[in-house]
Amino acid sequence: MILTSDGMLTSLEICAGGGGQALGVEQAGFHHVALVEYKAEACETLRLNRPGWKVFEKDLREFEPTRDAGVSTVDLLAGGVPCTPYSIAGRQKGADDERDLLPAALQLVQALRPRALMLENVKTLARSKSFALVRQHITNELNSLGYEVHIQVLDAKDYGVSQTRKRTLIVAVQQGLKKFQWPTGDWELPRTVGELLLNSMKSRGWPGADEWARLADDIAPTIVGGSEKHGGGDLGPDRAKRRWAEMAVNGDSTVAEVPGPDFVLQHGVGRGGWKGYPKLTPEQVALLQGFPPDWKFAGSRTAQYKQIGNAFPPPVARAVAAEIARVLLDSPSAAAA
């Protein structure tokens, strides 16, 4: 076990993005020895919120942990490798997509031999027949390196997040350690969009905020952040916008400020009927992703929204990482390490 001087488990975060998974892993008791992310705005976000984190702005395929970060091994290797190669929007090219970083992640496992691995991706990676061979390859590769592999789809709403968001989690733990179990527990039911965002909708004196909150009486649909080249300017395709409209939200784009005193809530306005509803700010979308209010995002509003929309909700990351920490700390080898 690779503990820090103050007794914390160590982790290395790859494809860190805007920090959703990294924050959750930190909350579960891990100390990040390094974070790797190649987008400048996301790296700025990580440094903005955690000046003490060692953030490496580079392509994962060019990152060498010993050379670049002085890291030879860690307790946990974690990250959210790009989901586009395995998503419907990305045409599910999988390993044939140049953006696929699963091979690079597996190479890091071989180089670092972490005691545990935690990777996040879209639900189709775990459920689609198209990726059965990919799942088998991942399992075989990790088995050959001495890991027990667990693949599961988790929904963020089951962990108190105000959003339906199903994601694949791949957890691998070194053989011989205690058995990993997927987190279960009595999490609070997620608040509705209206309950969660009411105070922010009121913050500039909008008199219609209470009426709006009564209409926004469900949790959010899956927040879509777009890919590197496409999307990110709105809350998703028309089917998603229709779902948002059922909660009196205009999903055509995000906005810099919440409604002011002069905003009038109107039904059935414009194509789709949602033009008379308020738009959400990136800060509000971040709350729906489970980020704390004090987590700030760098870059343009579209860049901020992409970071938020592509993030892994911190509460789910914390729940899974806490179970991994339990395995690492409770295993017989921990006492001898």
* DSSP secondary structure, 73-136, as one string: --SEEEE----GGGSTTTTT-GGGSTT--HHHHHHHHHHH--SEEEEEEETHHHH-GGGHHHHH
Q: Which two tokens stand for residue 78?
A: 């974690």
Q: Enumerate the β-bridge partners of residue 76.
A: 11, 116
Phi and psi based region of residue 176 (left: phi greater than 0; alpha: psi -120 to 50; beta: remaining) = left
Distances (CA, A) of 101 to 7, 120, 188, 230, 243: 32, 12, 35, 19, 32
Cα–Cα distance for residue pair 141/138, rounded to 1 Å: 5
Side chain identity, residue 157: K
Residue 60's nearest CA partner among 4, 14, 6 is: 14
15 is catalytic: no
83, 106, 134, 223: the catalytic one is: 83
Cα–Cα distance for residue pair 83/276, rounded to 1 Å: 33
Cα–Cα distance for residue pair 194/133, rounded to 1 Å: 42
- Which residues are annotated as catalytic? 83
